Structure 1
Amino acid sequence: MATLFVGLGRMGAPMVRRYAGTTATVLFDVDTAIARALADDIAARPLDSLAELPDDVDTVILMLPNSRIVESVLEADGLLDRLPGGALVIDMGSSEPTSTRRLAEAARERGIGYVDAPVSGGVAKAVTGQLSIMVGGEVADASRARPHLAPMGATILDVGPSGAGHAAKALNNLLSATNIAAAAEVLAVASSFGIDPGVMVAVLNASTGRSQATEVKYPKYVVTGCYDSGFAMDLMLKDVAIAQSLARGEGLQTPVTDAAAEAAGNARATLARDDLDHTELARYYEYINQVSFRATGA
């Protein structure tokens, strides 16, 4: 049997390179040239149209930008109706939990398993197969999904029922954005006071203020002035909005992360480019405070 892998973008392409070495794989992307070229490179089979689903496909992995596209592929394009009973769908993108729950129910009505398994770690860890993967779905479906996820992830966490994986991913990215914003405010003060930003980052990482943002993002992408982590600002904002909607749905007060979300939205509007990297939230703080986060010698 074979797996259909849909979505061969910045994350999907390195992920399927890890995956195709373990399982017979069929590739689909809206850009058929990308699918054909990658298929030739990794000995997979390209698919020009989802209407031509091969008979041996019993698993589908989706790595798509948002829920609207997932819904289009599964419902409007009819993929759910073409899959055989007992098939398994694994959505590894950052979808909306409410949409995920509805799609999972639609899949169950057809005798198809459905798992949400979004990832964290970015392109670098997609390349090395060291992604963190958050799995939501029925226990039996999550168990079936694990062998498919293992080639792509170093940490696979079962987090709850359908939609829980996507909720966990969005909440993680909300905190990630908050950490970037908080560190930027601290660096702005430090820089104004005469402390080299590279030195201040080193202080944070040797002390209790450290986070993944200060340990990875600031040394690699901020104090170097590169701002090229490979994860788009717009994708971060999408996840932040999903996380905020979850908080509002539960009637919870979240003033700290709300402030970070507002800052991220202001950064998008102020810097006003379609290709903004998510780490450019720090660049926004440089701009509004008229300081530089570039380390001496960087």
Structure 2
Amino acid sequence: MKKYLLILFCFLCVLGSAQEKVKELGLRLENYKYPYPVSFFKVNAQQNIYEMAFMYVEPENSNGKTIMLLHGKNFNGAYWATTIDALTKEGFSVLVPDQIGFGKSSKPEYFQYTFQQLALNTKKLIDSLGIKQLDVLGHSMGGMLATRFTLMYPELTQKLILVNPIGLEDWKLKIPYQSVNDWYQQELKKDYESIKNYEKESYYAGEWNEDYAKWAKLLAGWTLNEDYSLIAWNSALTYDMILTQPVVYEFEEIEVPTLLIIGTRDRTALGKNLVSEEVKATMGLYDQLGKETAQEIPNAKLVEIENVGHLPHIEAFDRFIEPLLEFIK
């Protein structure tokens, strides 16, 4: 009996230790410091005023060029820290917004999320800073937004860079329809372990370390907040946006020079948990999707990074930044 009690005690200690690693985070990450000073831009949208957080980092010796970095769904502007450092050293001004519903930006109780609305919000921010032209880089969901922004505002966009963007395939053709309420219920069940397991499988091919863990802990920190239901609701709304507003059919309309940086080991795809193993095996195959997308986009260049997953700028920074700098210089 004492043996079993000892085992139980050890298990609870390990569990408690794991939970202590995740810090409760504020609704707008008030208690989390970004790598550069954060400003706030007021956006008038959908009969309300929202605050859009952003970092605007200017170099000591400017080359006169600006690049905008757009975050993915499970992230915020903070994960661009090393990219910002490298770009400013080369003379680039760097704009890094948190979209409404993400990071340090407002979390609406009601909002109709569309990529067009997010692109419009972002253009208003750009206009407020007096930026006339810029390069646009988007990662993951940010790649879908970057594509929509470029299609809407080609006169602003000099070059487009897509880093393991999602939306290279139309998932709603493969997965059963999920209502916003369905996505919301899934989000409410999340914790650090579930977030870690998803990212470990889809992003990193079973590998895990503290560099990967700190971004999972950011998401998990929100699950400990008493207002997590509001974050979960916004997340559910953006899942619906991603699945119902594909950009894959419009790649041929892109007019600007485009660079695709693809970690070929990536297997990210929404709704893989909703389909059979047979269908799942056909989703998120970035070693194929990168090539197919490069053929669809006029004037596109493809750089494939072998044995790298969903986050090349985190997992293999040197192999990510070299082709990026070569393309935008």
User: Normalising to structure 1: TM-score of the pair?
Assistant: 0.31
- Structure number with greater CO (CA < 8 Å, separation at least 6) is 2
User: Normalising to structure 2: TM-score of the pair?
Assistant: 0.29
